[in-house]
Structure 1
Amino acid sequence: MVARALAEAALERKAEAVVALDVRELTSFTDAFVIATGTSDRHARSVADAVLERGRELGQEPLGAEGYEDGRWILIDFNVVVVHVFQDDVREDYDLERLWGDAAAIDFDDVA
């Protein structure tokens, strides 16, 4: 599954608190979210770079990406998976895990 592979790419770059959520039953615009935390803007961009590279390796060209320059909330839309890379304070403010609390967690190997 693409979400698992993207979550693992984030973990390989030492992203923190990585979760993947199956949102197919809750929305029609994507199948899954991957949510990760970077410890700084530079780290968040590094995590995003790893996710973008893994996505392309899987044949998933992103439809778009936002927030890369600022590095506080980077959103990468692969259509089937939307990846959010936050800095910790921004992640707490938006609390997507609570907002999408009815979504099932997707298990993935902890490669970190």
Structure 2
Amino acid sequence: MTETREVMSELTIAARAASDKGATGPVALEVTEQFGLADVFLIVSGAVERNVQAISDGIEDALNEHGTRTVRREGREGGRWVLLDFGDLIVHVFHQEDRDFYQLERLWSDCPTIDMPEIPEAPADLHSTPSSGVK
């Protein structure tokens, strides 16, 4: 693999930021040989448009705080597929329906996957919380 320590650090920061905002289904692909303009794609999903926007904002904020500049951002307003370009790392934040439709993992199936921190699956009902017992 050709990824550098810095892009792996950026990938970890992005994956954790995505997880903090409720992202699911993370996949990281090493795309250097096939793409040439970046080293790594991170693909994650959000449940609804607002979640996709929050995930993309969280990732961008975390990487910018780390000192990684956003080169380009596309699709945030629609909340269906947000592309965040950080140079060597490109992040795709999809609404789950659009991710199922476009199937980037299948399109880039010849690229090796990268082991990274797990992002847990979102609970089935995001609105149900245990009662605190306080009335």
Decide: shared fold, TM above 0.5.
Answer: yes
Bigger Rg over Cα: 2
Check conservation: 1:38, 1:85, Cα contact below 8 A.
Answer: yes
Give the secondary structure class of the aligned counterpart of 1:25: helix
Counterparts of 1:19-98 in structure 2, within 5 Å, are 19-98=27-106
Counterparts of 1:8-23 in structure 2, within 5 Å, are 8-23=16-31
The percentage of counterpart residues that share the same residue type is 37
Q: CA RMSD in A?
A: 1.2
Deviations 1:36-93, CA, capped at 9 Å, x for gaps = 1010110001100110011112211111101111100011111111111111111111
Q: Residues of 1 paired with 2:119 and 2:43: CA distance?
A: 16
More strand by share: 1
Check conservation: 1:4, 1:106, Cα contact below 8 A.
Answer: no
Tell me, which stretches of 5 or more residues in structure 1 are unaligned? Answer: none
Runs of 4+ off more than 6 Å: none
Give the secondary structure class of the aligned counterpart of 1:26: helix
Q: Residues of 1 paired with 2:15 and 2:108: CA distance?
A: 17
Deviation at 1:20, TM superposition (A): 1.0
Give the structure, 1 or 2, with the largest relative contact order (CA under 8 Å, sep 6 or more).
Answer: 1
Q: Residues of 2 paired with 1:65 and 1:50: CA distance?
A: 13
Check conservation: 1:37, 1:86, Cα contact below 8 A.
Answer: yes
Number of matched pairs: 112
Q: Residues of 2 paired with 1:9 and 1:106: CA distance?
A: 17
Equivalent residue, structure 1, for 2:129: none
Deviation at 1:105, TM superposition (A): 1.2
